[in-house]
A and B are shown apart, each in its own frame.
Chain A
Amino acid sequence: MADAEVSLSPALRPLHLSPSHSAQPPPPASSSSPTTFSCPSSPSSASSSSSSSSSSSCSESSSDCPAHHHHHHHHHHHHHHPRPQLQLPPPSHSEQPSSPSASPRSSSPSGSIGSTGSLGSSSASEGIGSSGMSSGGDPRGPSPPLDVISEDAMEMDLGVDQVIDPEVALKACQEVLLKVKLLDNKQQQDDKQQQQQYADVTEPRPTPRPESSSPSSSKQSWLLRLFESKLFDVSMAISYLYKSKEPGVQAYIGNRLFSFPDSEVDFYLPQLLNMYVHMDTEVGDAIRPYLIHRCRGSITFSLLTAWLLGAYSSDMHISTQRHSRGTKLRKLILSDELKPPAPPSDAPRSVFMSPSRRTHQRSKSDATMVSSGPGAGLRRTGSNPKVEAVHEEVRVMFTPERLRPQREFVKSLLCIGKRLATLPTKEQKTQRLISELSLLNHKLPARVWLPTAEHQHHVCRVPHTQAVVLNSKDKAPYIIYVEVLECDSFETSPVPIRIPETRIRSARSAENLDCGAAANANSGGSMTSEHRAGSFSTVPNYDNDDEAWATDDIGQLQVEAEAQTSSSDNISQFSVDSITSLESKEPVFIAAGDIRRRLSENLAHTPTTFRRDPEDPSAVALKEPWEEKVRRIREGSPYGHLPNWRLLSVIVKCGDDLRQELLAYQVLRQLQSIWQQERVPLWIKPYKILVMSSDSGMIEPVLNAVSLHQVRKQSQLSLLDYFLQEHGSFTTEAFLTAQRNFVQSCAGYSLICYLLQVKDRHNGNILLDSEGHIIHIDFGFILSSSPRNLGFETSAFKLTSEFVDVMGGLDGDMFIYYKMLMLQGLIAARKHMEKVLQIVEIMQQGSHLPCFHGSSTIRGLKERFHMSLTEEQLQLLVEQLVDGSMRSITTKLYDSFQYVTNGIM
């Protein structure tokens, strides 16, 4: 298989695929192992047989090259490696030998990201359409009939040598079922449960329930129908991919992945990749085409995949790691050879794009040569947007290195974190952070983006002074705010033009006028307000540099015009100050008491901000309401006037393994959607995690939230009093809403903490948002791991008397509501246990993460769902858990332990 992978790399080779070229040693036999249930991937060949070697070497490259270059190669190879056992239903379109090998992948437009769900069907239809196939018009829904799938697979799966023959797959599935049944009784039970589930929902279909005694044929058809059914979702696909030992099923599922919406598969990307890295070859082979395909289509996907592959390979021994498939795929992706295929119809363009790598590079240097011409001009004329635009186009056309800007961007952010860690004090760290980020700004805007964001955008500026170092003992995680400009596609939309920092300084002109008017007022003595208004247009220049500024470009003037209107506030205020004394010649008197009173009132009225604490620089930054921060930063940004301006934020972590966090995020997301589906009003806030390596990554910050520790330290109030202060007294609606939010989130996180055995629950790891929700962060200790293995924290979850106070006491309605929510949540979670278990189980594969320590992790997790209990028993269990947590002094003890060791209250 190794060679097959390598052969995939020469991306744009087809022009050179002359027979002489293909005389290269064919890939070793391993790739043509009998286990591959593949059919030759060239539907173009009239014969139904082909060589696996040919398909493995050239079909890999086929997805890059326009199809018509390709088929020669196939023909060349057919003769000597016939594999008759691989039957392929004669493609209906085989009478068109030249075109059909155009895989839908290669013809799908590059910007597939974001067009979620449309990819599968659109690419298929495009493939059909572009090749003029008569069989077209079969719109592929979410659950296409099997034969269509195979056809699609044939078309699109040229990248691999595996396409499923429905009959073979059928047979395979049958075998799988049998084996599974025979081998593992327990497993079978699970299957049964699943089947039950499926059967439950597939009611309309008169599918016979698969009994163990029933004839195998019915079972077959059941599995087949399952695969075909609308209910066969990504979760099931992943589950079968993992559990099935049958290559046929695996390969089938590998192909089926193409038919799911991207976003749904993306959720399981960690699972897919972990399987790819740690499970046997067949699973890898089944997944690989899909991964390659997605990588071609999307830079984001490429990078996410490469990062995760690196992270999940890191637990391997270094020697195996180097040769592992994960590492190889990662290298392939990072080599940036997986480019989107050239647009098919654009003839001159494709000529430009298709040459091999070498010519490609040459054309790149051409580009730089070309650009040096106007570049020189650029230098001379200062920034000339026109020239820049031309350049941008040139760049897009050649797309030199797709992944590099983003990789460099991320790398520099991570490097900053590493360097910060060496500085001793928070203050120094923050200062350094600010200065490093200001350097980063010089390179922005660029074709870089924040992977945590929902929408396509380009990063245009980092308001560096807003960044703060977060509380951590020896690492230096930090939060940055990032200004972005949304766009249609960050891969193809032009990068925004840089606007100098000082463009925002529009106020200066207004200020000039201000003072000009003031000076006039002073000297003239009796200037009416009309005069003053009139003087805005006629104020003389005070310095000859004003004249020079006037020659600045129009864009700036516009900005200034806007800002001038917005700053009218200042002007009017100013006018009041002086008019009062000017118009009435009589002296104006004020009481000293009033000034003093206004001072203390003003001070009291400033919203409850936190004090600036050099030891806790993030407290102030995080306390500031997000809306306000956005407004403030927007006002100060030269890009702020653009309608597509957005503010994002991200936490950069260096030296921390975020793989567990990612796992926790997935479980939380899964439970959240389960609860939504089951309409249980539990509230949790999974925050996005980006794993960049086994010791670095990024976290999406929770907005408008500060830790309970910060709340307590800054406010010096009990939690209940703080609620009263922030939201109003007991009977107000605001308080009641906040209280309900608190209860719903407490219930959600209590369950999470119990199910996942989340430990290290001190007040620094629990956030409180402005709506009253609590949010648990830091899932460093879950499942089988706990901090330093101290005997602390034995309670199921954290429920302090402070929490109970906010809920209105032990006898209050809200507390009963809390317990009821937990019960409902647990019942709902139990119903979908498999979906949760699956996430964890697959990630255990090959992992050395502490949360998988020991052998009973999965079993323990499963047990905590208490499948065997009745609902009454479950209710009792919830009571016990709550009771135990209430009475547990260990939580309290743990808090004081944290205070002693980390200074967290």
Chain B
Amino acid sequence: MSQVEKKAGLLRRTSSSKKPLKEKVVLMYDEIFAKEDPAKNNPRFWDELFLMKVNLEYLESKLESVDGEEVQRIQDNINSLFHHCVQALGEEHQIKVVNALQTLCALFRGVHQKNKSASGFDIINMLMGFDKAEQRMKDLMERLDSLLCGDSSESLKSLCLKLLLCLVTVTDNISQNTILEYVMINSIFEAILQILSDVSSRGQHGYDAVVLLALLVNYRKYESVNPYIVKLSIVDDEPTLDGMGVVVHQALTEYNRQYKDKEEENQGGFFSTLTSMVGSMFIADVDEKLSVQTNEAILLALYEAVHLNRNFITVLAQSHPEIDIATTPTTPTPTTPTTPLGTTPPSLDMMNNPELPLDPNLQTSNLLITFLKYASIVIQDTKDEHRLNSARLCLIILTCIAEDQYADAFLHDDNMNFRVNLHRMPMRHRKKAVDKNIPSRPLVCAVLDLMVEFIVTHMMKDFPMDLYLRCVQIIHKLLCYQKKCRIRLHYTWRELWSALINLLKFLLSNETTLLAKHNIFHLALLVVNLFNMFITYGDTFLPTSNSYDELYYEIVRMHQVFDNLYCMVLRVSTNTGQWKEAASKVTHALVNVRAIINHFNPKIESYAAVNHISQLSEEQVLEVVRSNYDTLTLKLQDGLDQFERYSEQPKEAAFFKELVRSISLNVRKNVSLNTLSQDVLLKEFSTIS
């Protein structure tokens, strides 16, 4: 993409240099880069400048080409240009506003490109001058805020957001972008919220607004008090939160839909689909390259909302029919923010409009379902670094959800049943599940399915240990909730048990290779403790008495895996080495499992011997299990139902820093592509005014 961009830039540059006559605007730029005050001879200079169509390439290249000493010389003029840009934003003449916005973009970008190594303060000085910077930025932010909140044209609002996105992403590391300090002081948070709360503006600018918010929240997140974090965490206005949810929902739905289309297109050649999709999956036709990372921006926004705002959790369960919400009639209904809550008659947008479209084939969906489907696609393939990060982020979000009481409440709500069609990787050993037969169940079943799916599909050499840990922890958190609230979920736990046992088996057989990179004992401990949860607390959350018998059956049936695991951890823990302690924890955790195996195996064998049966049926084994419980004593283990709560800092800080960096790079690229080189916008205004 950057190639395309450069090419376009080069072409224009050469063509403009070939021309003997320079554009008027270019001449005026040249005047700015001269020593003199351009307004000295022409008092209407600035007025005229903003009537000219902006030549971004020229302006930017000019800024880039300024060398060190020249900077001092022309700084006054640049400051003046910045100042007049800000002032022009207040003009009634929309053309001037548009030009000023674009010029500001060029200024931010040009100055940063020139001074990649320079400190933020130097950049501020060059753009605005230290002494005036605070006032200038205050004015700028106020103007942008009123443009965004007022009833200016939608294109103008869009451009304002692009400018902000451009400003936020001029540095690779957002926290090094010192100008944002002023954006912290002069908050545009409220403007972003307003965009999200209004149906029509959300449709047009929601995506940019959400991405902008996600980025701003990540500015110096760990070092200072970021007002955007504080504000986001206390938003409780439901239309606004819903609006945010809708934007995320829409983006994820679109991704899912395109994935499905592609998949159907390439029936049979699955891997070709995958590879081609890495590049072009997400955004439609025009900008193919937006793809994966733009997702991450939306995912990041979802994460921040879930993590920071307790009220957002309700949005996850807010039902939407699966539709492209952008296409629904967007009657302007700005009444919601102006009329106080509770007094709005229940009509307006919801009841007067034909509401939800009537299509019996549409499944009702909600953000959580869409997110689960999305996650099921993303976690399929984690070889690619971006996708690994996406998968990690998905699991982090799920971790936050699984920890939240309210979310758990609706995940387990027996009255909210859904069919969730998760994507499943076709594998040699299993047929692709028939979608139609998925029963309608509480949402937590889909979460568990997703976890099981991940567990069975990622046992590979390049072992994603981190993802496995998160996965097992999510299951653990859900079990803790069920135990605490005595919820007896009708879930086929057997699938989970056998997936977990297979995981242990994989760890065993790849011990040496895995140990080189990972602490497999930690994972093994978590897995064994899941079994301990079932064994000691099964009475509080298992759905039937039979399921407890089946648990024993499964353990006894796969006893060899546990035996081998025990041998292995015993061996490691008796040796001295770095894994000694970790391994010995696993040996302790295995107490009950071993007790079960040692208790029942002889019983089953003797039963077979007495009855002269070589191969016992499942029912027969279950019978033996049932009749021999009373002679088995188990040990109550500590802390099985306790877990460490998720916290971003310090564990995840590095991950998020990297993530935000890559999102910044991506957004920066796309901002430049999307708008600034397009004349559509200017054309629109030239016809208006």
Question: Which residues of A line the B interface, CB within 8 A?
Answer: 368, 371-372, 375-376, 378-380, 382-383, 387-388, 391-392, 395, 401, 404-405, 408-409, 411-412, 415, 419, 422-424, 427-428, 430-432, 434-436, 438-440, 442-448, 465-466, 468, 495-498, 500-502, 504-505, 507-508, 511-512, 515, 518-519, 521-522, 542-545, 547-549, 551-552, 570, 574, 577-578, 580-582, 587-593, 595-596, 598-600, 602-603, 612, 614, 621, 636
**Which B residues, 331 to 379, have Cβ-Cβ distances below 8 Å to chain A?**
337-348, 350-351, 355-356, 358, 360, 363-364, 366
- Which A residues are in CB contact (< 8 Å) with B648? 543
**Which B residues, 194 to 233, have Cβ-Cβ distances below 8 Å to chain A?**
194, 197, 229-230, 233
Tell me which of A409, A496, A505 has the highest count of chain B C-beta atoms within 10 A of its own C-beta. Answer: A505
Q: Are the C-beta atoms of A408 and B318 separated by less than 8 Å?
A: no
- Which B residues are in CB contact (< 8 Å) with A580? 636
**Which B residues, 486 to 507, have Cβ-Cβ distances below 8 Å to chain A?**
486, 488
B227, chain A: closest CB distance, angstroms: 10
Given A415-B355, A549-B234: A592 and B629 within 8 A (CB)? yes
Tell me which of A432, A444, A587 has the highest count of chain B C-beta atoms within 10 A of its own C-beta. Answer: A432
- Which B residues are in CB contact (< 8 Å) with A382? 234-237
Q: Are the C-beta atoms of B636 and A497 separated by less than 8 Å?
A: no
- Which B residues are in CB contact (< 8 Å) with A419? 355-356, 358
Tell me which of B342, B348, B637 has the highest count of chain A C-beta atoms within 10 A of its own C-beta. Answer: B342
What are some 27 contacts across the A-B interface (CB < 8 A)? Answer: A368-B339, A371-B338, A372-B338, A379-B338, A382-B236, A387-B340, A391-B343, A392-B340, A404-B345, A404-B347, A405-B345, A442-B238, A443-B351, A465-B410, A498-B342, A505-B405, A508-B405, A543-B647, A551-B234, A581-B637, A587-B635, A590-B633, A590-B635, A591-B629, A592-B596, A593-B629, A596-B545
When chains A and B are docked, how far (Å) is the Cα of A432 from the Cα of B647? 36
Closest to A508 in B: B405
Q: Are the C-beta atoms of A581 and B636 separated by less than 8 Å?
A: yes
When chains A and B are docked, how far (Å) is the Cα of A552 from the Cα of B642? 28
Q: Is B678 an interface residue (CB 8 A)?
A: no
Question: Which residues of B line the A interface, CB within 8 A?
Answer: 190, 193-194, 197, 229-230, 233-239, 242, 307-311, 313-314, 318-321, 337-348, 350-351, 355-356, 358, 360, 363-364, 366, 404-406, 409-410, 413-418, 440, 484, 486, 488, 535-536, 538-540, 542, 544-545, 548-549, 596, 629-639, 641-645, 647-649
Q: Are the C-beta atoms of A593 and B630 separated by less than 8 Å?
A: yes
B541, chain A: closest CB distance, angstroms: 9
When chains A and B are docked, how far (Å) is the Cα of A376 from the Cα of B351? 24
Given A443-B350, A508-B310: A466 and B360 within 8 A (CB)? no
Closest to A446 in B: B346
A390, chain B: closest CB distance, angstroms: 8
- Which B residues are in CB contact (< 8 Å) with A409? 346
Which 3 A-B pairs give the minimum distances between C-beta atoms? A435-B319, A443-B346, A375-B338
Q: Are the C-beta atoms of A578 and B642 separated by less than 8 Å?
A: yes
Q: Given B366, B404, B542, B629, which contacts A508 in the complex, CB threshold below 8 Å?
A: B404
When chains A and B are docked, how far (Å) is the Cα of A603 from the Cα of B416? 22
Q: Are the C-beta atoms of A590 and B634 separated by less than 8 Å?
A: yes
- Which A residues are in CB contact (< 8 Å) with B540? 602
When chains A and B are docked, how far (Å) is the Cα of A876 from the Cα of B234? 76
Closest to A404 in B: B345
- Which A residues are in CB contact (< 8 Å) with B418? 431
Q: Given A379, A383, A465, A507, which contacts B413 in the complex, CB threshold below 8 Å?
A: A465
When chains A and B are docked, how far (Å) is the Cα of A602 from the Cα of B487? 12
Tell me which of B239, B313, B346, B348 has the highest count of chain A C-beta atoms within 10 A of its own C-beta. Answer: B346
- Which B residues are in CB contact (< 8 Å) with A496? 342
Q: Given A415, A427, A545, which contacts B440 in the complex, CB threshold below 8 Å?
A: A427
Q: Are the C-beta atoms of B233 and A545 separated by less than 8 Å?
A: yes
Q: Given A388, A422, A551, which contacts B340 in the complex, CB threshold below 8 Å?
A: A388
Given A409-B346, A432-B364, A581-B636: A596 and B629 within 8 A (CB)? yes
Closest to B410 in A: A465
- Which A residues are in CB contact (< 8 Å) with B634? 589-592, 595
Q: Are the C-beta atoms of B536 and A595 separated by less than 8 Å?
A: yes
Given A379-B194, A442-B350: A603 and B629 within 8 A (CB)? no
When chains A and B are docked, how far (Å) is the Cα of A33 from the Cα of B319? 61
When chains A and B are docked, how far (Å) is the Cα of A427 from the Cα of B237? 31
A606, chain B: closest CB distance, angstroms: 9
- Which B residues are in CB contact (< 8 Å) with A581? 636-638
Closest to B626 in A: A596
When chains A and B are docked, how far (Å) is the Cα of A387 from the Cα of B342? 12
- Which A residues are in CB contact (< 8 Å) with B649? 544
Closest to B320 in A: A435
Q: Are the C-beta atoms of B645 and A515 separated by less than 8 Å?
A: yes
Q: Are the C-beta atoms of A518 and B440 separated by less than 8 Å?
A: no
Q: Are the C-beta atoms of A612 and B414 separated by less than 8 Å?
A: yes
B582, chain A: closest CB distance, angstroms: 16
When chains A and B are docked, how far (Å) is the Cα of A560 from the Cα of B649? 27
Q: Given A446, A465, A548, which contacts B308 in the complex, CB threshold below 8 Å?
A: A548
- Which B residues are in CB contact (< 8 Å) with A392? 340, 342-343
Q: Given B190, B406, B486, B641, which contacts A577 in the complex, CB threshold below 8 Å?
A: B641
- Which A residues are in CB contact (< 8 Å) with B319? 431, 434-435, 438
Tell me which of A439, A504, A515 has the highest count of chain B C-beta atoms within 10 A of its own C-beta. Answer: A439
Q: Are the C-beta atoms of B633 and A591 separated by less than 8 Å?
A: yes
When chains A and B are docked, how far (Å) is the Cα of A873 from the Cα of B326? 75
Q: Are the C-beta atoms of A436 and B342 separated by less than 8 Å?
A: no
Q: Are the C-beta atoms of B342 and A591 separated by less than 8 Å?
A: no
B253, chain A: closest CB distance, angstroms: 15
Q: Are the C-beta atoms of A502 and B633 separated by less than 8 Å?
A: no
A488, chain B: closest CB distance, angstroms: 17
Closest to B313 in A: A502
Given A502-B406, A508-B405: A598 and B539 within 8 A (CB)? yes
Q: Given B242, B355, B535, which contacts A436 in the complex, CB threshold below 8 Å?
A: B355
Q: Are the C-beta atoms of A408 and B342 separated by less than 8 Å?
A: no
- Which A residues are in CB contact (< 8 Å) with B645? 512, 515, 519, 542
B287, chain A: closest CB distance, angstroms: 33
- Which B residues are in CB contact (< 8 Å) with A621? 415
Tell me which of B313, B409, B596, B639 has the highest count of chain A C-beta atoms within 10 A of its own C-beta. Answer: B639
Q: Given B234, B404, B486, which contacts A548 in the complex, CB threshold below 8 Å?
A: B234
- Which A residues are in CB contact (< 8 Å) with B630? 591-593
Q: Are the C-beta atoms of B360 and A428 separated by less than 8 Å?
A: yes
Given A599-B539, A599-B548: A518 and B639 within 8 A (CB)? yes
Given A382-B234, A592-B632: A466 and B415 within 8 A (CB)? yes
When chains A and B are docked, how far (Å) is the Cα of A31 from the Cα of B630? 95
When chains A and B are docked, how far (Å) is the Cα of A424 from the Cα of B358? 12
When chains A and B are docked, how far (Å) is the Cα of A409 from the Cα of B235? 28
- Which B residues are in CB contact (< 8 Å) with A495? 342-343
Please give 10 more A-B residue pairs, beta carbons under 8 A apart, in addition to A447-B345, A593-B632: A376-B338, A388-B340, A440-B346, A515-B642, A549-B310, A590-B635, A592-B634, A593-B631, A596-B548, A596-B629
B303, chain A: closest CB distance, angstroms: 12
Tell me which of A428, A522, A574 has the highest count of chain B C-beta atoms within 10 A of its own C-beta. Answer: A428
Q: Are the C-beta atoms of B364 and A434 separated by less than 8 Å?
A: yes
Q: Are the C-beta atoms of A505 and B406 separated by less than 8 Å?
A: yes
When chains A and B are docked, how far (Å) is the Cα of A582 from the Cα of B193? 49
- Which B residues are in CB contact (< 8 Å) with A422? 358, 360
- Which A residues are in CB contact (< 8 Å) with B340? 371, 375, 378, 387-388, 391-392
Q: Are the C-beta atoms of A408 and B347 separated by less than 8 Å?
A: yes
Closest to A495 in B: B342
- Which A residues are in CB contact (< 8 Å) with B242? 442
- Which A residues are in CB contact (< 8 Å) with B313? 502, 505
Q: Are the C-beta atoms of A405 and B346 separated by less than 8 Å?
A: yes
Closest to B360 in A: A423
- Which B residues are in CB contact (< 8 Å) with A518? 639, 642
Q: Are the C-beta atoms of A445 and B633 separated by less than 8 Å?
A: no
Q: Given B236, B307, B350, which contacts A412 in the complex, CB threshold below 8 Å?
A: B350
- Which A residues are in CB contact (< 8 Å) with B343? 388, 391-392, 395, 446-447, 495
When chains A and B are docked, how far (Å) is the Cα of A329 from the Cα of B540? 63
